[in-house]
Structure formats: structure tokens, C-alpha cells
Amino acid sequence: MVWEHIFYYLDFQSILALQKTCHGFRDFIEEEKPDLNLSSMDIFLFPRFARLVLKSKIDKKTVIIEYGGTDTGCQVSSRPDQRIIIDGFHFLYIFAENDLKIVLKYQKSLLDYLNLHVDHKGQQGRQMDKMVSHFIPFFVDLLKSRRRALTKTTNFKWNPNP
């Protein structure tokens, strides 16, 4: 009960950071699945990178996480001075299979909105078609697998080639 009260006031970055500190926290978080208390989520898909924008209900803080391709895998950054390189994985895999899946797993409260923006402009149209054809069914399955609704409003914005 005390831990639940403490976790209520933590933002999602703190919860995810605590999960990595010790087995006790990891086990508690995995068992209790504390609410991340996000108010909104924006997902941006581009041919060469993805962006996840999360806004907290607790402190109104916005966190922007970007996932981009490298020659050997991908890089993830949530601050200009911090980049994590992950070799051997496509950026969309790290974004979707790791981070997005975790965020959706721990988000219990209703989001005010969820926006999915797909930028299909430019010469990478075929590459974007392939990405979207893999991501959309995965994303829909994630949403369907939830016990409760995630949002009041879901918007899909598609920016096609001119």
C-alpha cells in the first residue's frame, strides 16, 4: 500500500528507471504494474526515424524520445546530450517492441488523446509503406490486447505524397 502511494506520484521515467535498479523494484513493478499517469501520447513515424511524445498528468512534463537508424542498428535519445546506440536492431523494432509495448502495458488511466502521425512524403514512399504495413497491425493488436480502453480519442494522421 505504501509503495503504491509512492509510485502514484512518480513520473513514467522514474518508474522505468526504478525498474532497472534492483530485483525488488523490478518484481514490484512487474506485479503491480503502476499507472504511468500519462495524459497524452503522440507517435510520429517517418522513413528514417520515429518519435514518441509522452505528457505526464502528474507534473505536466513532456518527454520526447527519438529512434533513428544507424549503419549498424539504431540510436535512441530523449535528450540532446544523451544517445544510446543499439547495434543489430532496426529503430522501429526498438521503438515498437520495447518502449511502446512497455508504455502501453503500464498505462492504466485513460489518455486524453492518442495521435498517430505517419509522414509519407518524399522519396522513401516504398520504405514507409513497408514500415507502416508492419507497424499498424502490431499497434492494433497491442490496443486490442488491453483490458481497458486506452483513450477517449484516437487520431490517425496520414501525410501522403503530394
What CATH number does the domain containing 56 carry? 3.30.420
Query: Quick one: pLDDT at residue 92?
Result: 92
Q: Are 28 and 41 part of one and the same domain?
A: no
Query: Quick one: pLDDT at residue 74?
Result: 93
Q: Are 2 and 55 part of one and the same domain?
A: no
Query: Quick one: pLDDT at residue 125?
Result: 65
Per residue in 122-156, pLDDT tens? Answer: 656 677 778 888 888 899 899 888 888 888 767 76
pTM: 0.82
Query: Quick one: pLDDT at residue 24?
Result: 82
Instruction: Identify the domain containing residue 5 by its residue range.
Output: 1-34
What are the backbone angles phi and psi of residue 54, rounded to the nearest 5°? -120, 135
Positions of the chain with pLDDT under 70: 1, 12, 121-125, 153, 156-162
Q: Are 133 and 147 part of one and the same domain?
A: yes
How many structural domains are present in the chain?
2
Distance set, CA 15 to CA 53, 63, 92 (Å): 17, 14, 23
Q: Are 62 and 16 part of one and the same domain?
A: no
Q: At what angle do helices 12-19 and 23-32 cross, to 10 degrees?
A: 130
Q: Which three cell numbers stand for residue 48?
A: 528514417
Q: Are 41 and 106 part of one and the same domain?
A: yes
Q: Are 62 and 6 part of one and the same domain?
A: no
Q: Are 91 and 152 part of one and the same domain?
A: yes
Q: Are 137 and 76 part of one and the same domain?
A: yes
